[in-house]
Every structure is written in structure tokens, then in C-alpha cells.
Amino acid sequence: VHRDLKPENLLLGKYNILKIIDFGLSNFCENDNFLETPCGSPCYASPEMVSGKKYNGHTIDIWSTGIILFAMLCGSFPFDDDSEQILYSKIIKGKYEFPKEITLSEEAKNLIKKILVVNPDYRANIDDIKNDPYFKKYYKPIYGLFLPIQEIPIEDFIIKEIEKKGYEKEEIIKNIKNNRHNEITTFYYLLVKKYSRNGIDTVNKIGRAHVWTPVTLE
């Protein structure tokens, strides 16, 4: 089991072959064995993990794929907050809403709902996902970065956030102005959408892989 599934650890290679990378937090887990160490990136962590319970590695990886799918379709996280304590509380409760400004098919929503189930015993498994109508539906691929505005605004405070990830300012601006379809423009676009949607004036922390202490709620 991987235990740190997130877009940064997924590479789309030649012939659209998906490759998973960074197995630094991975472990071997039989279906009837449970793990104990809470680890990974908080926004993608399952309720049983953040609450400090023993967990099945397969079901927490599936939860992470649900978060990834939500982020891919909505451009935001179902559970997010500047405070990790509040974030963990939201994850444990498992209550989320689909963004009203994003149009999703009922099939897409239903698959996400099957995966983001707090009780892992009732969470969709791999076979459930593979047999789901949304998973089996064929979609014609589209290419390039599609935006609801003609030109991406260059916001200095967002540029500075991306610079913290190791990118040069000139490189970031060049990619944005040329509308390159890569990790820089994707990161920038997601932050722009987050600002415009929430009206916040500080970027939420983007979780880096680490081991952290689970929260206990009264």
C-alpha cells in the first residue's frame, strides 16, 4: 500500500500510462492486517487514519483516490482548512459539498460519494470502482489548459507561493503567459480558483508528505 497517494505522486507517461512514484511511506499489508502509523499528506488522509485508529492500508489508499478525483474535477479539496485541527475534524465527520460553480454529472458525484465514506467497511473497493458507470464510461480526451477567462492574471502573491516549491519566478511567469500545460500552470490555476472562490488572503498550506500526530476529538 502506498499511503501517500496525491497528484504530485502520479505521473502520466507515454501512451497515457499512469505511474505511481514516491514509495517512501509505503508498506506491505495483507487484507486482514492493519497498520498503525499515521502518515502521508493531511488533505488526502482518511478518517480512520487522522483519528489515530488502526487502519487497512487498502481502504486508506482508496480514500485518497476519491480526494484526487474530487480535486481533478472540482479544482479544490472536499476537506480543507488552514488549521490542521479543523481539517482533521472535517475529515472525521466526512461532510463536504460539491462546488456550486462546477457542473458535475450525477455519475461523477455518485462515484465520489461511494469512495468518500467515513466507515471503511462501507467504502467502495477496487472492484466497485472498476464496475462503476462513471469509471467505465468513455470520455474523448481533451488537451491543453482550459480556463474560464481569456488570459490568466499574473498575481505576485501566488507567484511567491509557487517559488517556495523551488521554481524560478521567470520560469513561472513564462509558463503562465504561454499557457503551458504542466505542473506550474496547474498549480497556479488551482490557487487562482481557490482565491476567487473563497475570497481568502492567504494560501492554504499545501501538504508535504510527513508523519504527523492524529487528532482526538471529544
Which residues are catalytically annotated? Answer: 4
Residue listed under C-alpha cell 467502495 = 124
DSSP H or E run through 20:
strand 18-20
**Which residues, in sequence order, are CB contacts of 76 under 8 Å at separation 6+?**
70, 99, 190, 193, 194, 197
- Exposed, middle or buried, 187 (CB in 10 Å: 0-12/13-18/19+)? buried
Q: How many residues does the chain have?
A: 218
Q: How far is CA 115 from CA 12, 19, 110, 122, 128, in A?
A: 22, 21, 9, 9, 9
Q: How far apart are CA 146 and CA 176, in angstroms?
A: 12
